[in-house]
Amino acid sequence: MKTILDEAKSYLDWIVGIRRELHRFPELGYQEFKTSELIRKTLDELHIPYRHPIGETGVLATLGTGRGPCVGLRADMDALPITECADVPFRSAVNGTMHACGHDCHIAMLLGAAKILKRRESEIRGTVKLLFQPAEEGGAGGLRMCVEGALEAPNVDRIFGLHVWPTLPSGQIGSRAGTLLASAGSLKIVVTGKGGHAAMPQMCFDPVATSAKIISELQTIVSRELDPLDPGVVSITTIHGGQAFNVIPPSVTMTGTIRSLTVRGMEFLEERIRTIASHVAAANRCEAQIEFLDAYPPTVNDGHCWDVAQVLGRELLGESNVQQLLPVMGGEDFSYYTNRIPGCFVALGMRNESQGAVYGVHHPMFKADEEMLPLGSALHVGFALKSLDELS
């Protein structure tokens, strides 16, 4: 595997060039038209066949025999509605949109793996599928890929994904067997009362004051109803209501997120939010409509797939650079794949103080240690070849 890493490093400029081009022109979920075009152009240059469209803007490339066994490698493509503040020469040229979660890195690493795998296609003992997937950031693009047959013909036996991880030092990888990432969903609460003049609150049923009470009470679910050893998140993140300083509005709309490491935990949070919001609203002579959007399932790694990744990581990086991570309350639609087939989601360290790569994902100052991108390409290749050797 050392030779694969050496080969990947020789493509550093090529991989980084792709990443920077993607970074300059980020696109939101299901709008990844230029992104998809660049991916397909690169695959055409590498003479790798693909299916497009899949999942609306996604690309599904195939290498090897076209028969089983089959291993899938996944990269997500969408950016976030964030204005970039990082001082880099290739900063986003799209106002209000940024690759703040590193999906541009994921695409570049998988295309690097495609380049290596094409040169070594005779070594592929089966089939490797490359899944370039749209709309991870809330759009459930992974589910669309599954529904539209990305894991079929031939059936994918295992799947691997990489994610840049700014809390992990560059040159390290990490993950764990079992649940790595939480089930994550969103909620919307509309509190309706009776608006009127702010100077005469006695004539109104105030949805603003009621919303404040609801927010306060929702915080007690995690702090007072969950076991302290059972992680959960209930966060109200937006509040919209009213337009004038002297008018009590008729309604207030709140949105937020809920998270748990289990499906059972998500069901409990939803039930308690409904009960608390509706009863607090009623006690204040208002009504609350509560809506939950479909939540991503927890991302649960197959133990053997993580073993394969660990063996590879030790070969490439040494024992001390393979870390066992604790579960994280972030969510990932890679979970739609691991709900169906064995797989493993692996964190690739990107923290490098000397380069200013110290900010977390979803931060406007996020930076990636680009020298680690070839390592990601080599890991993808290793995941595929090692697994096919086992499965064949």
Same domain, residue pair 147 and 25: yes
- What is the rounded distance in angstroms from the CA atom of residue 254 to the CA atom of residue 236? 7
Tell me which residue of 211, 205, 206 sits closest to 190, measured CA to CA: 211
Quote the pLDDT of residue 1: 57
CATH number at residue 337: 3.40.630.10
Distance CA 252, CA 213 (A): 13
Look up residue 224 and give its DSSP letter: I
Summarize pLDDT for 310-326 with one digit per residue, the tens: 999 999 999 999 999 99
Determine how many CB atoms are found less than 10 A away from the CB of residue 182: 29
* Domain termination residue (choose one: 292, 307, 324): 292
| Cα atoms in the 13 Å half-sphere on the side-chain side of 29 | 15
Whether residues 36 and 151 share a domain: the answer is: yes
Co-location of 198 and 278 in the same domain:
yes
Domain limit, last residue, from 260, 292, 324: 292
The domain in which residue 233 lies consists of 183-292
In one-letter notation, the amino acid at residue 57 is T
- Distance separating the N- and C-terminal Cα atoms of the chain: 19
Same domain? For 144 and 219 the reply is no
Name all contacts of 37-46 with Cβ < 8 Å and 24+ positions apart.
39/77, 39/107, 39/111, 39/132, 42/18, 42/111, 42/114, 43/111, 43/114, 46/114, 46/115, 46/118
Sheet containing 70-76: order of strands: 50-54, 58-64, 127-133, 70-76, 158-169, 343-351, 173-175, 322-324
Residue 268, token pair as written in the block: 């409990």
- Distance CA(170)–CA(166), nearest Å, equals 8
Task: In the chain, count H helices and then E strands.
Answer: 10, 16
Q: Identify the pLDDT of residue 2.
A: 63
Per DSSP, the three-state class of 300 is strand
Do 110 and 141 share a structural domain? yes
Amino acid at 330: G
Residues 61 and 175 in one domain: yes
Q: Say whether both 230 and 370 belong to one domain.
A: no
Indicate which CATH number applies to the domain containing 227. Answer: 3.30.70.360
The CA-based dihedral angle spanning residues 18, 19, 21, 24, taken in that order and rounded to the nearest 10 degrees: 170
Other Cβ atoms closer than 10 A to 275? 12
**Residue 142 shares a structural domain with residue 17:** yes
Q: Report the distance separating Cα 343 and Cα 333, nearest Å.
A: 13
Q: Tell me which amino acid residue 335 is.
A: S
Residues 193 and 272 in one domain: yes
Q: Do 211 and 158 share a structural domain?
A: no
Q: Note whether 48 and 174 are same-domain residues.
A: yes
| pLDDT tens per residue across span 346-373 | 999 999 999 999 999 999 999 999 999 9
What's the average pLDDT block by block, 10 residues per block, for the chain (392 residues)? 89 98 98 98 98 98 98 98 97 98 98 98 97 97 98 98 98 98 97 98 98 98 96 97 98 98 96 98 98 94 98 97 97 97 98 96 97 98 98 96
Nearest to 135 by CA among 151, 146, 119, 122: 146
Cβ atoms of 335 and 142 closer than 8 Å? yes
Distances (CA, A) of 129 to 11, 51, 101, 388: 21, 11, 23, 12
Domain total of the chain: 2
Q: Which pLDDT does position 294 carry in this prediction?
A: 82
Q: How far apart are CA 184 and CA 258, in angstroms?
A: 6
Single residue among 264, 292, 320 that ends a domain in this structure: 292
Residue corresponding to tokens 């998140």: 233
Instruction: Check whether residue 211 and residue 163 sit in a common domain.
Output: no
